[in-house]
Structure 1
Amino acid sequence: MEQNFKSKQSLTKEQALQKLRHYCAYAERCHNDVISKLYDLNVWKKDHDEIVATLIEENYLNEERFAKLFAGGHFRTKQWGKNKIIQGLKQKGISAYCIKAGLKEIDEADYEATLQKLFQQKWESVKGTQNRFAKMKKVSDYLLQKGYEAQLINQLFNKI
């Protein structure tokens, strides 16, 4: 009995480039996302650099633009603090310059207002804690996990 195993065919450089143009046009991507997609598409490794370079030249791929959208979006939608945003961008392999540019997208007044709002919500939601220090620890841990800076959190505690 003969079994037919269909091996994954390798795309030509032009086919891969066309697929990646659509991939990058659909949502902002970073270099790591594109490289990962190239592996998924089974594109020859020797073609990766040339394809990425073409996408950059055609402005489908721009790490600074990606960092700005990532930072602004994750702050507004997920209410992440700067530390968590920095960590997320580092995991994507974004350069320090682009990370700094991305963080500039976050308005300081909005940042402090969001931190204040999260602090207030968490402080009011922590129930069953008789000990004030235990409550402070829970609130602090929550805000640190969201990526906010310890010194900003401490300033909020000093106000109450």
Structure 2
Amino acid sequence: MLPSKKTFTLQEATQKMEQYCAYQERCHQEVRKKLETMHMIPEAIDIVMVHLLEHNFLNEERFAKTFVSGKFRIKAWGRGRLVYELKKKNVSKVNINQALREISDEEYNEIFNDLAEKRVNSIKEKNLYKKKKKFVDYFLYRGWESFLVYDKANELIK
């Protein structure tokens, strides 16, 4: 006998999604995928999504700001990586730009400079070219602007 798929009523699904969204900020795409894994029909998904939006459980602008703030301050991602990851989550350009404006240029440069100092001291490579490459690769992967990275690499690694 095949294991039966658990089915949810509209009310159960709505309640479950309210808890899911209350636990942490979610983007529309995450919630829609979660509802699909619960085997909800498209009409039911739309009803639940509208309910979550109307009751402010789901707010893409708030999600984008929280995402940018967390990934920037905790993981030290640059603007490029932040934009890339938000686009992957289908967040609108307007919300992405608004979220990025939350980071001041002073704070952005300060975090970059602190991170660059720590990083250059942690690379044990003796060959200057290899050391520079490791430094540059580290920051480019994290989405920092190439002109910032190369200028800092040339300044710190001589």
TM-score by length of 2: 0.92
Q: Secondary structure at the match of 1:43?
A: coil
Q: 2:147 aligns with which of 143, 148, 151?
A: 151
Deviates more, 1:59-68 or 1:134-143: 134-143
- For residues 76-126 of structure 1, the C-alpha deviation after alignment (integer angstroms, 9 at most, x for no partner) is 111111111111111111011111011112222121111111211121122
Counterpart residue identity of residue 51, structure 1: V
Counterpart residue identity of residue 45, structure 1: P
Q: 1:45: which partner in 2?
A: 42
Q: 1:107: which partner in 2?
A: 104
How far 1:6 sits from its partner (Å)?
A: 3.2
- For residues 46-88 of structure 1, the C-alpha deviation after alignment (integer angstroms, 9 at most, x for no partner) is 2111211111011100001000000000011111111111111
**Percent of aligned pairs sharing the same letter:** 37
The runs of at least 4 consecutive aligned structure 1 residues that moved more than 6 Å come to none
Q: 1:129: which partner in 2?
A: 126
Deviates more, 1:113-122 or 1:73-82: 113-122
Q: 2:3 aligns with which of 6, 25, 37?
A: 6
Distance 2:101 2:144 in 1: 16
Q: Secondary structure at the match of 1:113?
A: helix
Q: Secondary structure at the match of 1:73?
A: helix
How far 1:129 sits from its partner (Å)?
A: 2.2
- Is this contact kept in 1: 2:136–2:153, CA < 8 A? no
Indicate whether 1:83 and 2:77 are aligned. no
How far 1:127 sits from its partner (Å)?
A: 1.7
Q: 2:66 aligns with which of 65, 69, 76?
A: 69
Greater Rg over alpha carbons, structure:
1
Distance 1:55 1:156 in 2: 45
In the comparison of the two structures, how many residue pairs are matched? 156
Counterpart residue identity of residue 79, structure 2: K
Unpaired runs of 5+ residues, structure 1, are none
Unpaired runs of 5+ residues, structure 2, are none
Distance 2:139 2:6 in 1: 48
Q: Secondary structure at the match of 1:135?
A: helix
